[in-house]
Amino acid sequence: LVRKKELEMEVSQLKNDNVRLIAENRKLAEVKSDLRRALDCQNGELTDAREYGSNAEYKSSKFLLENQALRKGIESIKNILTEKDLALQDIKLELAHAADKGACLLSERSQYKLSLDISQRDLAESIQRCSELRAELETFTVDLNKVRATKEQVEAENTEKQLKLNNLTRKVDRALVSLSSLVNLEHNDLDMAVKATQDLIRQQNHKIRMQQNSIKHQQDNVHMLRTKYGELEALFDSLSKQKRETGLEMELERTRSSLSSANQSIDQLRSKVLDIGASLREKEETIRSLEDELSECHSKVSVSRTENSVLISRLQHINSRPQISDLVTPIRNSGNSHSFSSVNDDDSILGNLTPNSNGATFHLLEEMRVSASQQIDSLKAGNEKLRCAFEEKERQLNQAVSLFEDTEADFKLLLQLVEKCSSNNTKYGRDMVQVRCKMQRILKW
């Protein structure tokens, strides 16, 4: 378009120059005709001057001079006309070039016109779109005014909610402090309980090993007693053959009854020892299961401690950066106002952490409290099971000890009877001395 304008300006300038040159040529033609008329007049005057005499020579010379001057003027005019013709030819050539350029410009103009039509159609579409956008802008302006009114209302509500949130933040800080101290105390109690339970289990395992060794020795003693009882019974059988000679029938009967009672006591002791061994094996299995439960509980305590530390760090992170947008978002989304529960300074700290005030903090604190209470309950149940098992085992061991004490008393009575029988200086008395020595060795052992 700029080039087209430049070319149009050049063409207009060339046209103006052409018009100006044509006007100058016309003027020159008029001057030439005037000069010709003047020459004709001068030629007539010269003819008249020749006819009128010598006085006209002066006029003729004058006219000749004027004619020469006019000739020089005509020659100069011819030169000017020649130059003008050359300039006119140059202008014609330039006009031909300008016509070619004009044709090119016309073709370009047609293309520009097509593009201008396309641009006009696009402009019409843009104008239509602008009208639509203007209508949408008006609608948006109305909505924006509503949103601004809502925003002012929300800002007023947010100011109130910020005050409540600050109050809640202070409550959460106090709750975190109390909860962390409570968790530390519970962890210390759990550690002490676990250590005490482990020490108790080690002590009971040591007692159980001691009791198992004692029961093994007692079983060996029972086996030896049964062996010695067989020997004593054979000896009493041999001695019964001599009862009529010695006159010790009543003492032998008493001795036999004592040996029978001792044999029954030994049988009872053996059965009780077997029962105690089976019970001890059951208790060992129970203790092993309790140890497994205790180790599992200890691992749960460590895991719970890790979880509690993570939860406390998360609570501190949440409490360190309270976001009012979390409270404003549901208001902006739904357009409804959500009220907070009132928080009083006299209420308990954990009781104020309701789901309406801060859901994430409430659920985290509740999870920590429930987890700690479950772990404490499991440890208490495990300790109660261990205590019951140890009490039952101690009761059975006390029964076994009392049974052994009764058997030892019966054995001592039998030994006294044998000592009485060994005081007789007969073969039967000498045999009873051997029995007494064996029974003393057994009692000492």
Alpha-carbon gap, residue 277 to 212, rounded angstroms: 8
Mean pLDDT value across residues 186-195: 70
Length of the chain: 445
- What proportion of the chain, given as a percentage, has pLDDT over 70? 47
Kindly state whether residues 100 and 187 are assigned to the same domain. Answer: no
Render pLDDT for 239-260 as a digit per residue (tens, 0 to 9): 666 655 555 556 556 666 666 6
Render pLDDT for 406-426 as a digit per residue (tens, 0 to 9): 666 666 666 676 666 666 655
Residue 151 included in any domain: no
Kindly state whether residues 196 and 95 are assigned to the same domain. Answer: no
Mean pLDDT value across residues 72-101: 81
Residue 372 included in any domain: yes
Kindly state whether residues 141 and 174 are assigned to the same domain. Answer: no
**Which of left, alpha, beta for 338 (phi over 0: left; psi -120 to 50: alpha)?**
beta
Decide if pLDDT at 40 tops 80. yes
Alpha-carbon gap, residue 434 to 438, rounded angstroms: 6
Range 254-259 contact pairs with CB under 8 angstroms and sequence separation of 24 or more: 254/417, 255/414, 255/417, 255/418, 255/421, 258/410, 258/413, 258/414, 258/417, 259/229, 259/232, 259/233, 259/414
Mean pLDDT value across residues 301-305: 67
pLDDT value for 366 = 66
Mean pLDDT value across residues 193-219: 73
Decide if pLDDT at 328 tops 70. no
Residue 164 included in any domain: no
**Which of 128, 145, 162 corresponds to the end of one domain?**
145
**Residue 269 binned pLDDT confidence (cut-offs 50, 70, 90):** low
Q: Which of 26-35, 101-110, 298-307 has the lowest mean pLDDT?
A: 298-307
Of residues 216 and 297, more confidently modeled: 216
Alpha-carbon gap, residue 402 to 394, rounded angstroms: 12
Decide if pLDDT at 311 tops 70. no
Kindly state whether residues 121 and 244 are assigned to the same domain. Answer: no
Parent domain of 252: 170-444
Burial 20-51 (b: 16+ CB within 10 A, else e): eeeeeeeeeeeeeeebeeebeebeeebeebee
pLDDT value for 400 = 66
Residue 343 included in any domain: yes
Decide if pLDDT at 86 tops 80. yes
Kindly state whether residues 184 and 103 are assigned to the same domain. Answer: no
Q: How many domains does the chain have?
A: 2
**Residue 385 binned pLDDT confidence (cut-offs 50, 70, 90):** confident
What are the Cα distances from residue 185, in Å, to 99, 136, 176? 106, 65, 14
Residue 153 included in any domain: no
Of residues 208 and 21, more confidently modeled: 21
Decide if pLDDT at 235 tops 70. no
H or E element, residue 345: none
Contacts of 414 (CB under 8 A, 6+ apart): 255, 258, 259, 262, 439
What are the Cα distances from residue 254, in Å, to 236, 246, 297? 11, 15, 61
Render pLDDT for 329-364 as a digit per residue (tens, 0 to 9): 443 344 444 433 333 343 333 444 444 444 555 566
Render pLDDT for 159-188 as a digit per residue (tens, 0 to 9): 887 787 778 777 767 766 776 677 677 667
For 92, the 3-state DSSP assignment is helix
Kindly state whether residues 136 and 178 are assigned to the same domain. Answer: no
Decide if pLDDT at 442 tops 70. no
pLDDT value for 32 = 85
Decide if pLDDT at 15 tops 80. yes
What the block records as the tokens of 117 is 């039509």
Mean pLDDT value across residues 308-333: 53
CATH number of the structural domain spanning residue 310: 1.20.1270
**Residue 365 binned pLDDT confidence (cut-offs 50, 70, 90):** low
Kindly state whether residues 181 and 140 are assigned to the same domain. Answer: no
Residue 158 included in any domain: no
Decide if pLDDT at 30 tops 50. yes
Alpha-carbon gap, residue 76 to 84, rounded angstroms: 12
Of residues 232 and 195, more confidently modeled: 195
What are the Cα distances from residue 244, in Å, to 93, 253, 425? 184, 13, 16
